[in-house]
């Protein structure tokens, strides 16, 4: 029986769809746990506007850092119209069960982690390489099944066309793939790049195969004048534009150039393939539909244009962006793509950049009177756009306190998917430099839920790696506030901060600033804050938390979240992989956020 080229690629695409549906089934236990938790039912796909404060409190930047925005008031409204304060005896952790399915999945995952977390390179793990290998095997099978692709290169053209919808689905920020897998677009980016490289390689073999065949028959000059060949050449030009603009050195040095050529390339490919062969139009229609649906959903649900207030934070080299009109709609750990519409000049207003949300959504507040500063972002000075943003924030006159601009917000995106950190026994958060913005958002959320006794957490350990003492001084009051709120909540939650200065000695820190916060403060016999030099011993820190949990028979697992450079994520990943007591503490969940993606 002869199988047509179209049938082959249809079956391959159906296999990929089946794999996505299987991934959806694997996410069901965590989704059930999440949506059975009242505070985690926010679907986090749309930013919610609320009534901002009638009068914004004046901020004296000369006496306090503008980064201190966390209220230390502990709400006591029980939601039933009365005020109460629970005694320490009543403040025992709520007993929660992670569920049989999630517990079984956790055990299986613990057994597999030693392999899946093995780092082949600092960015590639064995788990990711397995997905890439299976994908390549499927594509090779589609190219060679029942045919010789070098003698009949038409099959290769159908393979290219069939992979265009998959590449689009993996690149769009609001797609069916992210819905099924609970993974943000940035987590699926490695698969998107793999599909893109595959399209580039197969398209070149398809083109060269036809050129070779035309040359053998002596019809090359005649064929090159035919419309379908001309459209095919323009398609290949579009694929080259996509591939060359995606090279790491191009993408990192000029993101605007990368986006411009990507847009030109995808338009060329979608239009030219449509005219190259009419049999491929159904694939192009699916790709265009996915891309169009993403644009419609983003502009109708996720896009917001509003006012924002900019504050320069010189101690951190960051710009604090406050959007008081946005009150909810996100979960801790998610990020926003920010575009500043005014004040950035004629060439930078169209650029968008992702930033982690530092503040807590109003969905997790006890009442609407404790809404803080709305949505808060912290933008590190690392390039031309962020340098311009910091200069704009620094231009505020002293009597204005801040610079008011119009911004466009796109999001929220990413985050911890369906994972509920408060269902674990302990949380280890590792931040490198500006990665503290991601970690602070998680800590704020966990402390807020602890004040409502909606948590299983017993330990929160934040490890922050900075260059010098001026970085952590800007957040010293923030850490003090978080620790005070943990104590005042009456909940048996221990909060610890370990700060490591990589470019200064502890004596120089002490002599440089008389009031440098390097004192070890005791909290019920444990060190709340510790400042040290050098780099942290991450395996030892994780072992200490795991041993403490094992001794006290806490078996709800440990969550480890890292945000920082790729090298830091690699070290944390290796620490988790080599932990031998994973099964004794109920498993270890690892979440990575790296700079640059």
**Three-class DSSP labels, 452-516:** CCCCCCCEEEEEEEECCHHHHHCCHHHHHHHHHHHHHCCCCCEEEEEEEECCCCHHHHHHHCCCC
DSSP 312-363: EETTTTEEEEEETTEEES--TTEEEEEEE-SSS-TTTTT--EEEEB-SPPGG
**pLDDT higher than threshold 50 for residue 72:** no
Q: What length does the chain have? A: 597
- Helix, coil or strand: residue 369: coil
User: CATH number for the 302-415 domain, one of 3.40.50.300, 2.40.30.10, 2.70.98.30, 3.40.30.10?
Assistant: 2.40.30.10
* Annotated domain spans of the chain: 5-27+106-300, 302-415, 420-597
Q: What local confidence, expressed as pLDDT, does residue 511 receive? A: 46
**pLDDT higher than threshold 50 for residue 70:** no
**pLDDT higher than threshold 70 for residue 518:** no
Confidence of residue 239 (pLDDT cuts 50, 70, 90): very high
- Angle ∠(338,340,341) on CA atoms, nearest 5: 135
Alpha-carbon gap, residue 8 to 138, rounded angstroms: 11
Q: Are both 302-415 and 420-597 of the same fold?
A: no
Q: What local confidence, expressed as pLDDT, does residue 463 receive? A: 93
Among 95-99, 320-324, 372-376, which range has the highest average pLDDT?
320-324
Q: What local confidence, expressed as pLDDT, does residue 526 receive? A: 47
**pLDDT higher than threshold 80 for residue 524:** no
**pLDDT higher than threshold 60 for residue 309:** yes
Q: What local confidence, expressed as pLDDT, does residue 401 receive? A: 76
User: What percent of the chain clears pLDDT 90, i.e. is strictly above it?
Assistant: 25
Alpha-carbon gap, residue 443 to 360, rounded angstroms: 10
- CA distance to 240, 250, 253, 261, 353, per residue, from 245 (Å): 8, 6, 11, 6, 18
The average pLDDT across 251-263 equals 84
**pLDDT higher than threshold 70 for residue 81:** no
**pLDDT higher than threshold 80 for residue 532:** no
- Higher pLDDT among residues 46 and 23, named by residue: 23
Confidence of residue 400 (pLDDT cuts 50, 70, 90): low
- Higher pLDDT among residues 554 and 69, named by residue: 554
Confidence of residue 523 (pLDDT cuts 50, 70, 90): very low
Q: What local confidence, expressed as pLDDT, does residue 112 receive? A: 76
Alpha-carbon gap, residue 466 to 439, rounded angstroms: 14
The average pLDDT across 427-444 equals 90
The average pLDDT across 69-79 equals 31
**pLDDT higher than threshold 50 for residue 550:** yes
The average pLDDT across 402-427 equals 88
CATH topology of domain 420-597: Rossmann fold (3.40.50)
Q: CB within 8 A of 360, min separation 6: which ones? A: 332, 372, 441, 444, 445, 448
- Helix, coil or strand: residue 307: strand
Confidence of residue 374 (pLDDT cuts 50, 70, 90): confident
Write down the mean pLDDT value for the chain. Answer: 79
* Helices 154-171 and 281-297: angle between axes, nearest 10 degrees: 10
Q: What local confidence, expressed as pLDDT, does residue 519 receive? A: 38
Q: In 10 A of CB 578, how many CB atoms? A: 13
The average pLDDT across 143-161 equals 88
Q: What local confidence, expressed as pLDDT, does residue 516 receive? A: 41
- CA distance to 158, 228, 273, per residue, from 4 (Å): 10, 21, 19
Q: What local confidence, expressed as pLDDT, does residue 384 receive? A: 82
The average pLDDT across 511-519 equals 42
- Helix, coil or strand: residue 146: coil
Alpha-carbon gap, residue 204 to 546, rounded angstroms: 52
């Amino acid at each position: 029986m002869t199988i047509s080229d179209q049938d082959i690629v249809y079956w391959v695409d159906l296999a990929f769809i089946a794999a996505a549906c299987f991934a959806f089934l694997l996410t069901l236990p965590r989704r059930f746990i999440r949506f059975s938790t009242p505070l985690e039912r926010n679907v986090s796909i749309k930013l919610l506007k609320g009534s901002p404060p009638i009068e914004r409190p004046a901020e004296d930047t000369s006496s306090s850092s503008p980064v201190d925005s966390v209220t230390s008031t502990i709400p006591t409204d029980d939601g039933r119209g009365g005020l109460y304060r629970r005694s320490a005896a009543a403040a025992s952790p709520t007993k929660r069960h992670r569920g049989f399915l999630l517990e079984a999945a956790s055990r299986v995952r613990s057994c597999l982690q030693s392999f899946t977390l093995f780092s082949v390179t600092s960015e590639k793990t064995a788990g990711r390489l397995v997905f890439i290998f299976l994908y390549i095997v499927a594509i090779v099978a589609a190219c060679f099944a029942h045919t010789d692709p070098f003698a009949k290169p038409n099959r290769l053209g159908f393979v290219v066309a069939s992979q265009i919808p998959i590449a689009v689905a993996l690149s769009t920020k609001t797609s069916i793939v992210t819905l099924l897998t609970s993974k943000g677009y940035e987590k699926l980016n490695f698969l998107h790049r793999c599909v893109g490289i595959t399209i580039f390689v197969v398209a070149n073999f398809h083109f060269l195969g036809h050129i070779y065949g035309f040359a053998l028959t002596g019809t090359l000059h005649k064929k090159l004048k035919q419309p379908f060949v001309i459209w095919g050449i323009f398609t290949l030009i579009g694929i080259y534009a996509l591939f060359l603009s995606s090279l790491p050195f191009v993408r990192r040095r000029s993101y605007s150039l990368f986006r411009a050529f990507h847009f030109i390339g995808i338009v060329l490919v979608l239009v030219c393939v449509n005219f190259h062969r009419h049999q491929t139009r159904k694939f192009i229609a699916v790709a265009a539909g996915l891309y169009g649906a993403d644009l419609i959903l983003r502009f109708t649900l996720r896009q917001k244009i509003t006012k924002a207030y900019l504050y320069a934070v010189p101690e951190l080299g960051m710009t604090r962006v406050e959007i008081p009109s946005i009150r909810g709609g996100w979960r801790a750990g998610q990020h926003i793509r920010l575009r500043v519409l005014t004040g950035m000049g004629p060439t930078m207003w169209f650029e968008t950049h992702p930033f982690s949300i530092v503040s807590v959504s109003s969905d997790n507040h006890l009442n609407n009177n404790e809404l803080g500063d709305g949505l808060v972002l912290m933008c590190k000075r690392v390039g031309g756009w962020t340098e311009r943003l910091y200069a704009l924030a620094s231009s505020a006159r002293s009597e204005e306190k801040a610079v008011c601009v119009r911004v466009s917000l796109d999001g929220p995106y990413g985050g911890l998917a369906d994972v509920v950190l408060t269902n674990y026994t302990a949380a280890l958060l590792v931040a490198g430099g500006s990665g503290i913005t991601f970690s602070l958002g998680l800590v704020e959320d966990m402390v807020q839920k602890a004040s409502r006794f909606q948590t299983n957490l017993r330990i929160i350990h934040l490890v922050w790696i900075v260059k010098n003492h001026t970085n952590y001084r800007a957040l010293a009051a923030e850490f003090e506030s978080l620790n005070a709120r943990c104590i005042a909540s009456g909940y048996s939650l221990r909060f610890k901060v370990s700060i490591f200065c990589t470019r200064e000695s502890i004596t120089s820190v002490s002599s440089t600033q008389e009031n440098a916060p390097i004192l070890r403060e005791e909290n019920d016999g444990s060190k709340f804050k510790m400042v040290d030099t050098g780099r942290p011993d991450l395996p030892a820190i994780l072992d200490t938390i795991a041993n403490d949990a094992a001794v006290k028979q806490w078996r709800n697992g440990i969550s480890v979240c890292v945000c920082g450079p790729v090298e830091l994520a690699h070290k944390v990943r290796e620490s988790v992989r080599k932990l031998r007591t994973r099964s004794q503490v109920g498993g270890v969940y690892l979440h990575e956020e790296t700079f640059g993606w």
